[in-house]
Structure 1
């Protein structure tokens, strides 16, 4: 039996996924959650074989969550199920340790097949052409992407500094560096560019 964790912040979508996967032979949904906090609480308790994650989650996004799940439960493989088909997201997901990347337009049969394939050690991208569209490599360091991602949520430099235990000057320097590297007109433009490319 393949044990699955479903993490999706939209209740109706999550309920549909749970019902769909729960009706598949050899698959059991052992936990579900709306955000990373719920997922991290559930994973230690249920030790799933596969985690099905949305990328656009409140707080920690699904790609970061994939990396954290891999560290906490190395045997748990992750599949991203998302509407985001922008360049960069596929590459970021696999860099974080994901084993699958599927768009939400995937058929129920393909979703179940992907869960089985990933549980067996495979790697799945659906539609397949996404595997060749990982986007341009990001010019941002992981720290620059981190502070830019927090700025994108509306956090101020002071709030980011507090969250990351950094000096305000360090945060401002990293934001300024990100703006420069992206050849952006300002912070808002840098966020727009990075989001469009899937770098944050």
Structure 2
């Protein structure tokens, strides 16, 4: 009888140890981040309604073109370990909430709609409105050193349709990004806000 009790306790202890080891070996869940701001995260429209009897300002914000090395679910940051300033590192536990080209497009659209009181016609089937200010952007550089800095260089073009008049420019910034990945996200958001401001000025110059 005593041997059976000891055997039962031994089995229970072994099961507890196995469960503890499995829990300790479980992979941590990744965290997801967005470049959108406020309640419009996820792509919701933040356009300011046009005043009565006025024509809305129509914009079309295309997906942002990014270098293939950055077009990944994971954050890509500079790998400065062991003095390797030229290397890149994937942060598997820090990921974008949507593909990076769409994430950046939605963030720019959100800011442009808010600042211009515009309506983004992208994928809305509004083909008969005019003029439309088509906005394309190319990310030349997007990099960060965790806990230190984050920077970007973004080329952008605004084309007024249907006449095709164009204005283009470049937004470039390097900002402090203290803390962990949250600091990088905050810096990227600020850089995108600056790019949206530059693009909005370009749109306004074509309206004159």
Same-fold status (TM-score > 0.5): no
Answer 1 or 2: higher relative contact order, Cα 8 Å, separation at least 6.
Answer: 2
TM-score normalised according to structure 2 size = 0.30
State which structure, 1 or 2, has the greater radius of gyration over its C-alpha atoms: 2
Larger helix proportion of the pair: 1
Larger strand proportion of the pair: 2
